[in-house]
Amino acid sequence: MDNQELLKIAVKAADDKRAEDILALNMQGISLIADYFIICHGNSDKQVQAIAREMKEKAQENGYDVKRIEGFDEARWILIDLGDVVAHVFHREERSYYNLERLWGDAPLEDVLSEINS
């Protein structure tokens, strides 16, 4: 299994829990941390936790290790480390405050959503 497949699994899991404004950034050659970043948000603590939980469960069901989850209890910014894919699940206000899209603005977008919704 490859990173592209893991990326699709995680994005679909977020989409299934109605995450908003899902972005997948190709970080290859930009960051040593991961090959892909997923950025999305939910509108309540419960939704943010549900998105993170679904991403974790779907990754594990497909044989991927979840290295670490940070921020789950606070549900303001949950980071899910899936190895070469790192997901950032924000609460709406936190996302606009941290604005990771601008910070990593030189990273190309991956059009994963259209693939999984077709």
Structure tokens given for 88: 């950032």
Q: Please tell me the total count of domains within the chain.
A: 1
For the segment 38-57, the average pLDDT, to the nearest whole number, is 98
Q: How far apart are CA 88 and CA 52, in angstroms?
A: 9
Closest listed residue to residue 75, CA positions, set 98, 51, 48: 48
Query: Is 1 a residue whose pLDDT tops 70?
Result: no
CATH number of the domain that 88 lies in? 3.30.460.10
pTM over 0.85: yes
Range of 111's domain?
3-116
Q: What is the mean pLDDT of residues 1-12?
A: 91
